[in-house]
Structure 1
Amino acid sequence: MIICANKMEYPLRSQCQRVQKQVVVNGEKERVSLLFVKALVSRGSVDAVFQQMASHPQYLESFLRTQHYILHMDGPLPLPYRHYIAIMAAARHHCNYLVYLHSAQFLRVGGDPLWLQGLEAAPPRLRLLDHINKVLAHQPWLTACSHIQTLLKSGEQCWSLAELVQAVVILAHCHALCSFVFGCDTDSDFVSRSKSPNGTPPTYCPFDAANGNTNVPQSFATPSEHIRRRRSLDSSCDMICLKERIQKSQEQHEKREERHLQTQTLQQTDSEEEEEMMCFADPSRFITDPDFCYQEFARREEDHFQVFRVQDYSWEDHGFSLVNRLYSDIGHLLDDRFRSVTSLPSMHSSDLKRAIWNYIHCVLGIRYDDYDYSEVNHLLERDLKLYIKAVACFPDTTKTPVCPLSWALLKGSERIHVNLLIMEARLQAELLYALRAITQYMIA
Structure 2
Amino acid sequence: MVWMLKSNLILSQDVLGYKLKLLLREVIVNGEKERVSLLFMKALVSRGSVDAVSQQMASHPQYLESFLRTQHYILHMDGPLPLPYRHYIAIMVCNLASYAKNTFLRVGGDPLWLQGLEAAPPRLRLLDHINKVLAHQPWLAACSHIQTLLKAGEQCWSLAELVQAVVILAHCHSLCSFVFGCDTDSDLAHLAKSPNGTPPTFCPLDAANGNANVPQSLKAPSEHITRRRVNDSDFTVLKGRKPSDLEDEEEMLCFADPSHFITDPDFCHQEFARRDEDHLQVLRVQDYSWEVHGFSLINRLYSDIGHLLDDRFRSVTSLPSLHSSDLKRAIWNYIHYVLGIRYDDYDYGEVNQLLERDLKLYIKAVACFPDVTKTPVCPLSWTLLKASERIHVNLLIMEARLQAELLYALRAITRYMIA
Please classify the TM superposition score into its range, dividing by the shorter chain length.
0.7 to 0.9
Per-residue CA deviation, residues 393-437 of structure 1 (Å, 9 max, x unaligned), is 012225211100001010000000000000000000010000000
Q: Paired residue for 2:369?
A: 394
Q: Give the secondary structure class of the aligned counterpart of 1:419.
A: helix
Q: Paired residue for 1:292?
A: 267
Q: Paired residue for 2:24?
A: 20
Supply the RMSD in Å over aligned alpha carbons. 2.6
Q: CA deviation at 1:37?
A: 1.8
Q: Which residue of the other structure, out of 58, 70, 77, is the alignment partner of 1:73?
A: 77
Output the CA distance in 2 between the equivalents of 1:404 and 1:341.
21
Sort the Cα spacing of 1:378 and 1:348 in 2 relative to 1 into closer, same or farther, 3 A: same
Sort the Cα spacing of 1:78 and 1:274 in 2 relative to 1 into closer, same or farther, 3 A: same
**Residues 40-79 of structure 1: pairs in structure 2 closer than 5 A:** 40-79=44-83
Q: Which residue of the other structure, out of 299, 308, 312, is the alignment partner of 1:333?
A: 308
Tell me the TM-score normalised to structure 2 length: 0.82
**Residues 10-409 of structure 1: pairs in structure 2 closer than 5 A:** 10-91=14-95, 96=96, 99-185=97-183, 195=232, 270=243, 278-279=253-254, 281-298=256-273, 300-301=275-276, 303-397=278-372, 399-409=374-384
Q: Percent identity?
A: 82
Mapped contact 1:185–1:399 kept (Cα < 8 A): no
Output the CA distance in 1 between the equivalents of 2:321 and 2:34.
21
Comparing 108-117 with 277-286, greater Cα deviation is found at 277-286
Tell me the TM-score normalised to structure 1 length: 0.78
Mapped contact 1:299–1:307 kept (Cα < 8 A): no
Sort the Cα spacing of 1:395 and 1:10 in 2 relative to 1 into closer, same or farther, 3 A: same
Q: CA deviation at 1:287?
A: 1.4
Q: Mind listing any 5+ residue stretches in structure 1 that lack a counterpart?
A: 202-221, 223-268
Per-residue CA deviation, residues 33-78 of structure 1 (Å, 9 max, x unaligned), is 0111223344443200011001000000000000000000010000
Which amino acid is 1:324 matched to?
N
Aligned length: 370
Q: Paired residue for 1:420?
A: 395
Mapped contact 2:331–2:351 kept (Cα < 8 A): yes
Q: Give the secondary structure class of the aligned counterpart of 2:344.
A: coil
Which amino acid is 1:162 matched to?
A
Q: Give the secondary structure class of the aligned counterpart of 2:148.
A: helix
Q: Give the secondary structure class of the aligned counterpart of 2:371.
A: helix
Which amino acid is 2:300 matched to?
R
Mapped contact 2:230–2:256 kept (Cα < 8 A): no
Q: Is the aligned partner of 1:434 residue 2:396?
A: no
Per-residue CA deviation, residues 216-275 of structure 1 (Å, 9 max, x unaligned), is xxxxxx9xxxxxxxxxxxxxxxxxxxxxxxxxxxxxxxxxxxxxxxxxxxxxx7558866
Q: CA deviation at 1:342?
A: 0.4
Sort the Cα spacing of 1:61 and 1:279 in 2 relative to 1 into closer, same or farther, 3 A: farther
Sort the Cα spacing of 1:413 and 1:438 in 2 relative to 1 into closer, same or farther, 3 A: same
Mapped contact 2:102–2:236 kept (Cα < 8 A): no
Output the CA distance in 2 between the equivalents of 1:13 and 1:391.
43
Mapped contact 1:298–1:305 kept (Cα < 8 A): no
Sort the Cα spacing of 1:389 and 1:7 in 2 relative to 1 into closer, same or farther, 3 A: closer
Output the CA distance in 2 between the equivalents of 1:295 and 1:302.
14
Which amino acid is 2:150 matched to?
L
Which amino acid is 2:72 matched to?
H
Output the CA distance in 1 between the equivalents of 2:388 and 2:255.
31
Q: Give the secondary structure class of the aligned counterpart of 2:288.
A: coil
Output the CA distance in 1 between the equivalents of 2:112 and 2:305.
31
Sort the Cα spacing of 1:126 and 1:304 in 2 relative to 1 into closer, same or farther, 3 A: farther
Output the CA distance in 2 between the equivalents of 1:276 and 1:292.
28
Q: Mind listing any 5+ residue stretches in structure 2 that lack a counterpart?
A: 187-227
Mapped contact 2:235–2:256 kept (Cα < 8 A): no
Output the CA distance in 2 between the equivalents of 1:427 and 1:321.
17
Mapped contact 1:307–1:366 kept (Cα < 8 A): yes
Which amino acid is 1:293 matched to?
C
Q: Give the secondary structure class of the aligned counterpart of 2:109.
A: coil
Output the CA distance in 2 between the equivalents of 1:52 and 1:276.
34
Sort the Cα spacing of 1:193 and 1:140 in 2 relative to 1 into closer, same or farther, 3 A: closer
Output the CA distance in 2 between the equivalents of 1:48 and 1:279.
26
